[in-house]
Amino acid sequence: MNSLKILWTEYHQAVWLDNIRRSLVEDGGLEDLIRTDGVRGLTSNPSIFKKAIADTSEYDAQVADLLKANSEIGVEDVYEALVIRDIRSAADLLLPTWENSSKTDGFVSLEVSPELADETGATIEAARRLWKAVDRPNLMIKVPATPAGIGAIEKLIADGINVNATLMFSLGDYEAVAGAYLRGLAAAEDPSGIASVASFFVSRVDTAVDALLEEIGSDRAMALRGKAAIANAAAAYTRFEEIFHGRDFAPLLDHGACVQRPLWASTSTKNPGYSDVLYVEELVGRETVNTIPTATLEAFRDHGLPRDSLAEWQERASGILAELGELGIDLDEITLRLQREGVQAFKEAYEELLESLRGKMAQLKA
């Protein structure tokens, strides 16, 4: 059987595609991935949309139509119109998955503007507006797990809006997001039917930690390369099991609430010395999601070897994380910096996208 399908059929891990563009959703590509590889969801972010919109001509016709209808339309309104069309199309293709999974899978994620990452009220307002504009039950609004984002996540869940809590790098981030989800469900009029995932970023942790290990250069340090990110994720998965299969969640479960699945993000391999499917093979666990970029998805289909790997890493995680501390590596400091850098990277991608759109709009007006 296809290795990607095995992740679901044998290990109950959902594969989501970490990519979107107009041709993919409208020319049959996403439909093929759903049918052939068992893809069960899709995620997007400003960097992905920048590549899709700024680097192709696939959106030019719609931009021209928008300008024809309103020559004074703003660039952000044009961006949202382009994005909403793609998100709706993808959501419609994944709607059967959502329906057949009792509304627990088949989601498409759309991120609020990264410019709002430090503004709770503005994030809530933007999320509500996007939720209403897209008007698809299998939409998830992506909100970063910044201090301001945590409050927004809680309120949006209480409102009954599906949330993808993103840009999580540390166990502290995970604890905060899970707490916000539980409080939001408790405040919701009806907790059943509200879905959420906790997006935990992986490969960037190894990139940062490996650089420090190589500076240390001892045999002990070098033996830990390529292990920090997976151990970090495994520790979060252990907390997921404790929280959502323990006493705290039981009353909500009795009222039909869904667990908030961990989602492994940033799972393309950055170090060419590592396996190109490292962060897929080593993060297989029940009730999880792996959102996989196209190239990594194709590689795993070709030579990936699924196994119950997260259970193995759970046994080793605390020891690995302790060793890093003994070597003087402050993982909390690293992950806080990575979250800030992640927010900044998405802001820059968003700004570059808007600038490119302004240029296209000016050309079309001329």
In our burial notation (b when 16+ CB lie closer than 10 A, e otherwise), range 261-295 reads bbbbbbbbbeeeeebbbbbbbbbbbebbbbbbbee
C-alpha triplet 15, 3, 258: angle, nearest 5°: 30
SS (H, E, C) 56-77: CCCCHHHHHHHHHHCCCCCHHH
Q: Which of 50, 142, 155, 360 is catalytic?
A: 142
Burial of 256 (0-12, 13-18, 19+ CB in 10 A): exposed
3-class SS at 317? helix
Taken as a whole, the chain contains a residue count of: 366
Residue 128 identity: R
Q: Which residues lie across from 166 on neighbouring strands? A: 144
Q: Which residues lie across from 197 on neighbouring strands? A: 164, 261
3-class SS at 174? helix
142 is catalytic: yes
Q: List all residues 6 or more positions away from 69 whose beta carbon is below 8 Å from its beta carbon.
A: none
Contact 157, 197 (CB under 8 A): no
3-class SS at 308? coil
Q: CA-CA distance, 157 to 259, in Å (whole number)?
A: 13
Could you list the beta-strand ranges (E) of 98-169: 108-111, 139-144, 163-168
What does the block give as tokens for 151?
Answer: 């409050």
What does the block give as tokens for 115?
Answer: 């410019």
Contact 163, 141 (CB under 8 A): yes
Q: List all residues 6 or more positions away from 189 whose beta carbon is below 8 Å from its beta carbon.
A: 160
By annotation, the residues acting in catalysis are 142
